[in-house]
Every structure is written in structure tokens, then in C-alpha cells.
Amino acid sequence: MKYNALKGIQDILPPDVYIWQSIESTARSIFFKYGFREIKLPIIESTDIFTRGIGEATDIVEKEMYTFPDKADRSITLRPEGTAPAVRCYVENGLHNLPSPQKFFYTGPMFRYERPQKGRFRQFYQIGVEAFGVAQPTLDVELILMLRDFLEGIGLRELNFEVNSIGDEKCRPDYKAALMNFFGQNLDEFCPDCRRRYTTNPLRILDCKVERCIELRQGAPAVTDYLCGECREHFEGLIAGLRALGVRYTLNPNLVRGLDYYTRTTFEVTSEHLGAQKAVAAGGRYDKLIKEFGGPPTPAIGFAIGMERIVALLKEIAPAVEPEPKVFIATLGKEAEIEGFKIAGQVRAAGFWAEPNYGGASLKSQLRKADRLGAEFAFIIGENELKAGKIQWKGLKTGEQGEVEIRNITSLLTDNVKPSNP
């Protein structure tokens, strides 16, 4: 019997895992400086968190959720995203009672039953960020700045920052009406999905990828022409802030996003190197969601970064390089083997990755193995030397060699080999 991972779900192996770890550690260190603290959110939630949070008429809720009954017949869903769970957590734990703003990030797998393709998986990982309690656009600017710092910090520069405002419950109805008026003129020519969206959420027609729909929407009214005074002021504040801080952006009036909770600011970071699935990170404001979840009215904004997509971009720039063992412990004879494990312990305690000989092999084949592993240094432990409290060492990349007293091996290593960091 041959077992395979499920369709659209992949294993992440070394050396790629090292790229993942370095991305996560850059995120942690940059987000920390912006005052974001990590939260650990559950991977499963009650289904209504998502139907209510993301919206009944979205692709995610209509078609893409992994939903099933648990043993007590409750409807459970594998989280397709982290914002709705973060809001549930914020309200449930009374985090609104703490001083504003409260700023969090989370990492982990998300699940969407989408058609797998390059850059699109059914289990994928996000680093998500959510900030609660500030209505001013200065927070929007700060979040986008932090995202740029992070992307530059991991070495990604040639990215497009697209921004838009989709208004709020005051101005969006007028805009929806204008769109329906425009699309209604030749509705029959749109794809079946768009014809359905016409009644459920006409804004979504703006980001349909079908070529004919793209043609048909040329000349559609732009949302930014329909913003009410307050939304306009917010949007202008965002743009002024981005300019002042030197964040390069483009305005994309079609950036409506596929989740219903957004109000005002939406943004997406895209790369031309990724093909159809080009968004590496995306987010926006969701000023109404906390109240919707039973909390006090609280403005909020966040974004999520797609790990697989940024890993793909980083691998294009440079292949993954994983750390290699620093020290190989070669041994000759049973007694030396045991002693080798003790010496390996000493080497590890000094901060180096030590690989022992697990037994048997000749010295020649042990040193070949050390080379294949990429080790920099070998200790060679023979029974005679042991009696004298000394062992031989060899610089595998330099060819240098010598003898060292066992009690001095830490200083020999610190003088000659850089410590191993995962």
C-alpha cells in the first residue's frame, strides 16, 4: 500500500524548513519592534465564526471550507484564515479592556478547499497580524510600513504595494447601486459566477479573473469616487502617510478583497514573479467585526502573509542553504565509541553541532561521511590516545591537523570554528 499526502497538501522538508525558520524569526524580531505580541490561536473553530466573520456569500464560505461535524454533532471548521478567530479571541478574552491599541501576530496553517495550482494549496501557512483599537489612518500606514520592513528584511524588494478604500456601510450602498447600474447593462455576457455576484456582492465582479469579465468591466465606476466624507478623509490620510514615509504604492480601485469584513482600507502586496497567484500578503481594515462578534465597537486592521509564496520568491533569488554539522567525531574501537559520545556532549555544550560515529565503520569511511555531511572539523579518537587523555583533530576544509588534550577541546573549537546556529 502506498500512501500519499492529500491533494493540495504538501510536506515541507529541509533545507526549505530553514528558509521558513529564518522568515519566521525575521517576522518575530521586526513585529516585536512595532509592539506586536504573538498569540496562538486554535486551528479548529465553530463554523459560525467563519460564516459570520468572513460572510455567507464569499467564495471561502460558499465553496472552500473544510467543515465537518465533531463527535457531538457540532459543526467544526478547519480555519481558512486567522482574522475571524483573532476577533473571537479578542472579544472572548476581554482584550478590549486592556489599553489600546492591542497588537498581535500569529503563524500557522490555514485550510481552503481550492483548486490546487502553482502557489495555491489546500493547506497553506500564513503569518497574520491584527491590531485593535485605533481608527486613525496612521495605524494603517504603520502596518504597511511594518510589512515593507519585513519583506525587505527577508530580502524581497521588487514588490508592488497596491492600496484602495472600499468605503463603509454609509457610502458602499451608493457605490453598489452604481456598479449594478453599470454591470446590469450587459449582465448576460458575464460569467455565471459574476451573474450570481451581481445580486450577492457586485463588488466581487471587480476582481473576477475571467478575461471576458475583465473586458466588460472597463469603465466601471471607481469606488474612490463614491467615498463619503469620513472615508475619503481616512483614505487621504493613508496616502499622505505613505508618501511622507516613502512607501511606494499604486492605487488599485479594483482591490475589493474576497472577505466581507473589510471596511475602508484594503491593500495587497504582489509580485510579478509568481504567475496567477501573485499576492504575497494582503489585508485591510475591519472596523465593524468586533461589534459583530459581541464586543464593543472597536476599529481594527490586519494583514496576512502567504508563507509558501514568499518562500518561492526567496528560492528564486538564492537556493536554500542549511547549516551543516561543524564537528564529526570519528572513533576507532568500542571503547573509543563510548568516549566519542562523551566528547560529542562536550562539543554540543560548547555550542557546536556534533555528529558522532554510530559504530563500526573504518576511519576512511567515517572521514568520507564527515566530508559528505559538510563537517568542518573532525576529532579522531583512538584507544591509545584516549589513555593519554588526548585526541587527534583535523580541519576538514583546511587540511590542518594536530593533537589536543581532551580538556582543551572547547577552546580549540572556539578558536577555530564558528558556532552552529539553527
* Residues found near ligand HAM in the complex (CB under 6 A): 81-83, 112, 114, 119-121, 124, 126, 128, 130, 259, 279-284, 302-304, 306, 308-309
User: Which residue, 302 or 356, is less far from ligand HAM as judged by CB?
Assistant: 302
CA-nearest of 179, 171, 148 to 26 is 148
**By C-beta, is 80 or 340 nearer to ligand HAM?**
80
Contacts of 160 (CB under 8 A, 6+ apart): 250, 269, 270, 271, 272
Query: Minimum Å distance from CB 162 to ligand HAM?
Result: 11
> What's the one-letter identity of residue 44?
I
CA 326 to chain centre: 30
In the complex, the smallest distance separating the C-beta of residue 106 from ligand HAM, rounded to whole angstroms, is 10
Question: Is the Cβ of residue 114 or residue 335 nearer to ligand HAM in the bound state?
Answer: 114
Smallest gap from residue 295 Cβ to ligand HAM (A): 16
Q: How many residues does the chain have?
A: 422
Task: Give whichever of 83 and 366 is closer to ligand HAM, judged by the CB atom.
Answer: 83
Helices (H), 56-166: 59, 83-92, 137-153
Q: C-alpha distances in angstroms, 187 versus 176, 196, 201, 207, 208?
A: 15, 10, 14, 16, 14
Coil/strand/helix, residue 172: helix
Least gap, CB of 266 to ligand HAM (angstroms): 9
Instruction: Compare residues 79 and 217 and give the one whose CB is closer to ligand HAM.
Output: 79
Closer residue to ligand HAM (CB): 120 or 195: 120
Q: Which is nearer to ligand HAM, 183 or 303 (CB)?
A: 303
Q: How far is the CB of 405 from ligand HAM (least distance, A)?
A: 55
What distance in Å separates the CA atoms of residue 220 and residue 106, rounded to the nearest whole number?
37
Residue with smaller CB distance to ligand HAM, 148 or 309: 309
User: Is residue 78 within 8 Å of residue 85, measured between CB atoms?
Assistant: no
Residue 80 C-beta: closest distance to ligand HAM, Å: 7
Cell readout for 335 is 571503547
Measure the CA angle with vertex 314, ends 115 and 159; round to 5°. 80
The grid coordinates of residue 38 equal: 504573538
Between helices 409-416 and 334-349, what is the axis angle to 10°?
A: 60
What one-character-per-residue DSSP string does 203-250 give? GGGGG---HHHHHHTTTPPPGGGS--HHHHHHHHHHHHHHHHTT---E
Choice between 130 and 142, CB closer to ligand HAM: 130
* Shortest distance, position 166 Cβ to ligand HAM, whole Å: 13
Which residues fall within 8 angstroms of residue 387, CB to CB, at 6 or more apart? none
Residue nearest to ligand HAM (CB): 306
- Nearest distance from C-beta of residue 259 to ligand HAM, angstroms: 6
List, in sequence order, the alpha helices (H) in 302-380.
Answer: 307-317, 334-349, 363-373
Within 68-191, residue ranges assigned H as helices are: 83-92, 137-153, 172-184
Q: How far is the CB of 170 from ligand HAM (least distance, A)?
A: 21
Q: Is 391 helix (H, G, I), strand (E, B) or coil?
A: strand
Instruction: Output the smallest distance, CB 220 to ligand HAM, in A.
Output: 22
DSSP for 373-385?
HT-SEEEEE-HHH
User: Which residue's CB is nearer to ligand HAM, number 63 or number 74?
Assistant: 63
By beta-carbon proximity to ligand HAM, the closer residue of 28 and 120 is: 120
Q: In angstroms, give the least distance from the CB of 216 to ligand HAM.
A: 24
